[in-house]
Structure 1
């Protein structure tokens, strides 16, 4: 930023110089102007190098920030995909568990019905045997009378 200071000195020198009437021109000290120009030449490469470095550093920082932003976006997309997959897995697990429960309830109903039918069939046979036995007992009693 020394360059700005040198340019301000040059500007002050021109503004404070003696003006030639009716011409818009001014008289300046040649040696003083040449000394300022020499100083500008000496400082200019350093300032240009610094400006170039700042520009390159800015570009590097922007590229690094863009890469980091892209990585963050990619990680977020992967996380979203993972969560979606986990959601799908959970959803399928619930569906399978509901199907298993439904099948178990259906099997339990069928077993209950089968058990009732079996019990009814056994009781019916027992009833038939008891009726036949009762009939035999009645016949035997009749014979005894």
Structure 2
């Protein structure tokens, strides 16, 4: 900033100026000091404008960074929610598949038991029929003797 250079010049002028003995004061060239002050007044608005621009630019960058951070957070939250939903869907699918398998196994057991009972019933009837036939054959053989 140019104003800092002007201030350094003013400071140098004060340090190099002759001092008044026993007072701690110094003699300064009025015209030179007034010229430096005039130069400061001319440069000050530019520096203030530049400082204001820097401040506004800083604020704009901070707001943009905050917006971007918020967007990143929202994206992350959406991704997490999606993954949780996907996990829940997968979990429910596994639960449903386990229920279907259990139901199928139960139905298979019932069908097996039903088939055994049916086969036992058919064999029992065949046995009864064969027993009757054997008895008829025995009776017929005895008649033949």
1:119 aligns with 119
1:55 aligns with 55
For residues 64-102 of structure 1, the C-alpha deviation after alignment (integer angstroms, 9 at most, x for no partner) is 111111111111111111111111111111111000000
2:29 aligns with 29
1:138 aligns with 138
1:2 deviates by 1.2
Determine the C-alpha separation between the residues in 2 that align with 1:44 and 1:3: 6
1:44 deviates by 0.5
TM-score normalised according to structure 2 size? 0.97
Determine the C-alpha separation between the residues in 2 that align with 1:23 and 1:63: 54
Number of aligned residues: 145
Q: Match of 2:22, SS?
A: coil
TM-score normalised according to structure 1 size? 0.97
1:17 aligns with 17
Determine the C-alpha separation between the residues in 2 that align with 1:5 and 1:67: 38
| Structure 1 runs not aligned, ≥5 long | none
Determine the C-alpha separation between the residues in 2 that align with 1:125 and 1:39: 127
| Root-mean-square deviation (Å) | 0.8
1:4 deviates by 0.8
Once the two structures are overlaid, the 10-residue window that deviates more, 7-16 or 74-83, is 74-83
For residues 78-133 of structure 1, the C-alpha deviation after alignment (integer angstroms, 9 at most, x for no partner) is 11111111111111111110000000000000000000110111011111101100
| Structure 2 runs not aligned, ≥5 long | none
Give yes or no for the alignment of 1:4 onto 2:8: no
